[in-house]
Amino acid sequence: MPNPLDDVTRGLRHLGDRLRVGTSGGDGADWLADQLDSLRKPEPGPTLEELQAELDALVGLDTVKEQVRALLAFLQVQAARAEHDLPEVATSQHLVFLGNPGTGKTTVARLLAQMYRAMGLLRKGHLVEVDRAGLVGQFVGLTAIKTDRAIRRALDGVLFIDEAYALAGPEERLDFGAEAIETLLKRMEDYRHRLVVIVAGYPRLMDRFLDSNPGLRSRFAREIVFPDYSTDELLAITGKFLAENQYRLGDGAEETLRRVLANPQRGEGFGNARFARTIFEQSLNTQALRLADLQGAQLADLERDELMVLRSEDLLAAARAVGEEPEARRSFWRR
Nearest-angstrom CA–CA distance, 311 and 286: 10
DSSP-derived 3-state class of residue 64: helix
SS (H, E, C) 76-127: HHHHHHHHCCCCCCCCCCCEEEEECCCCCHHHHHHHHHHHHHHCCCCCCCCE
pLDDT of residue 25: 45
* Cα atoms in the Cβ-side hemisphere of radius 13 Å centred on 265: 3
pLDDT of residue 284: 96
- Can you give the pLDDT of all 335 residues of the chain as single tens digits? 666 666 656 655 665 555 544 444 445 555 455 545 555 566 678 999 999 999 999 999 999 999 999 999 998 998 899 889 898 777 778 999 999 999 999 999 999 999 999 999 999 999 999 999 999 988 877 899 999 999 999 999 999 999 999 998 766 466 788 899 999 999 999 998 899 999 999 988 999 899 988 889 888 878 999 999 999 999 999 999 999 999 999 999 999 999 999 999 888 878 899 999 999 999 999 999 888 876 656 666 678 888 899 999 999 999 999 998 887 654 344 43
pLDDT of residue 325: 84
Looking at this protein, which amino acid is placed at residue 275? F
Q: What predicted TM-score, i.e. pTM, was given to this entire model?
A: 0.81
DSSP character string of 4-35: HHHHHHHHHHHHHHHHHH-BTTB-HHHHHHHH
DSSP-derived 3-state class of residue 332: coil
Domains of the chain: 48-226 (3.40.50.300), 231-321 (1.10.8.60)
Nearest-angstrom CA–CA distance, 308 and 310: 7
Nearest-angstrom CA–CA distance, 167 and 100: 18
User: Would you say 264 and 325 are in contact if contact means Cβ atoms under 8 Å apart?
Assistant: no
Nearest-angstrom CA–CA distance, 244 and 226: 25
Q: What's the full length of the chain, in residues? A: 335
* Count of Cβ atoms closer than 10 Å to residue 179 Cβ: 20
Nearest-angstrom CA–CA distance, 216 and 184: 10
pLDDT of residue 12: 57
Long-range contacts made by residues 51-57, C-beta under 8 angstroms, separation at least 24? 51/111, 51/114, 51/115, 51/118, 52/115, 54/111, 55/108, 55/111
Tell me, rounded to whole angstroms, the distance of Cα 160 from its chain centroid.
7
User: Would you say 192 and 156 are in contact if contact means Cβ atoms under 8 Å apart?
Assistant: no
User: Would you say 250 and 83 are in contact if contact means Cβ atoms under 8 Å apart?
Assistant: no
Nearest to 291 by CA among 267, 272, 270, 307: 307
User: Would you say 264 and 324 are in contact if contact means Cβ atoms under 8 Å apart?
Assistant: yes
Which DSSP symbol is given to 164? Answer: G
184 Cβ neighbours under 8 A, 6+ residues apart: 135, 147, 151, 197
